[in-house]
Amino acid sequence: MYLITSSTKYKDDGLMTNPDWKPLYPFAAHSHDVGGVRMNYVDEGQGDPILFVHGNPTWSFAWRNLILKFRDRYRCIAVDHIGCGLSDKPQDYPYTLAQHIANLKSLIEKLDLKKITLVVHDWGGAIGIGTLGKMPERFSRVVITNTAAFPSKLIPWRIAACRIPVLGQIGVRGLNLFAGLATTMATENPHGLPADVKAGYLAPYDNWANRVAVDRFVNDIPMSPRHQTYPTIREVEAALDHVRKMPTQLIWGMKDWCFSPAFYREFRARLPEACFVELNDAGHYLFEDGLEPMAQTIEKFLSETPRSGE
């Protein structure tokens, strides 16, 4: 049994009706039960599925514009990881990479998704590619953006500071420094994100309890083999063997200070057959800074690239 904060239950309350941001996210809520905890997801359109997997501290809201662009031709599915977005936010829960992978695998099985085009960002890269490694027969193409799927010693000081015992938790959960500052530091817009967009990103993370996963994601980064998640990130790394056999597109915001161009170069080396596009004026939130070139690149990739096995 997990403790679930009541404010995370989906209902037509302030979380969903705030006029500043709700028009930007005109999607019906869908629920999937994972061990007694409710996972929210978007499911729009018909056709071969595109599965969008977000990272920290975002949620399916980050994919809203791409869903709107592609739902007339594809079935667009965007998950909210447990603890994120409109999903439940249990306080006593194993917020680990392995658990998030298991949850996503469960959703794919429930929806019986096949011929999936996977689109990942941030921690969604490790979660999505880790899931692909568990069921490669269900995936056909991969789009990788500003993420990692292998062990790394690189961690920005701004992330490392959030891992300091006690102080880090106060900053992330008490002062909302991680999610809050991301709305200015993860974009190259000198004024930060527009007010309605910022409100959308922050709406699910409005108090200490609702920021539990934001904090736990930060502390689940495996910086050494002694970390509990290190074996899982090595499994994710091994799953890149499956990705190499599939059509793959890299799209990178080159001004990202978090998943910097060093990660991009690592992916280029590990996936030498992948197509690649560099968005030189985009930061970590490339779906905000570089939406149009990102959408055009995905459109071209989907229309010109045969699915794996075809």
Write down all domains in the chain, each with its CATH number in brackets.
6-304 (3.40.50.1820)
Cα–Cα distance list, 71 to 64, 96, 217 (Å)? 10, 31, 30
Question: Which helix H or strand E contains 75, and what residues bound it?
Answer: strand 75-79
Cα(first)–Cα(last) distance of the chain, in Å?
45
From first to last of its 310 residues, what are the pLDDT tens digits of the chain?
A: 233 333 333 333 344 445 489 999 999 999 999 999 999 999 999 999 999 999 999 999 999 999 999 999 999 999 999 999 999 999 999 999 999 999 999 999 999 999 999 999 999 999 999 999 999 999 999 999 999 999 887 776 566 665 667 576 778 888 788 888 899 999 999 888 999 999 999 999 999 999 999 999 888 878 788 888 999 999 999 999 999 999 999 999 999 999 999 999 999 999 999 999 999 999 999 999 999 999 999 999 999 987 655 5
| pLDDT tens digits for range 20-57 | 899 999 999 999 999 999 999 999 999 999 999 999 99
Pairing of strands 37-44, 30-34: antiparallel
**Around Cβ 24, how many Cβ atoms within 10 Å?**
15
Q: What is the DSSP letter of 48?
A: S
Whether residue 57 is preceded by a cis peptide bond, meaning omega within 30 degrees of 0, is yes
Residues noted as catalytic: 122, 256, 284
The model carries a pTM of 0.91
**So what's the pLDDT on residue 1?**
28
45: left (phi over 0), alpha (psi -120 to 50) or beta: left
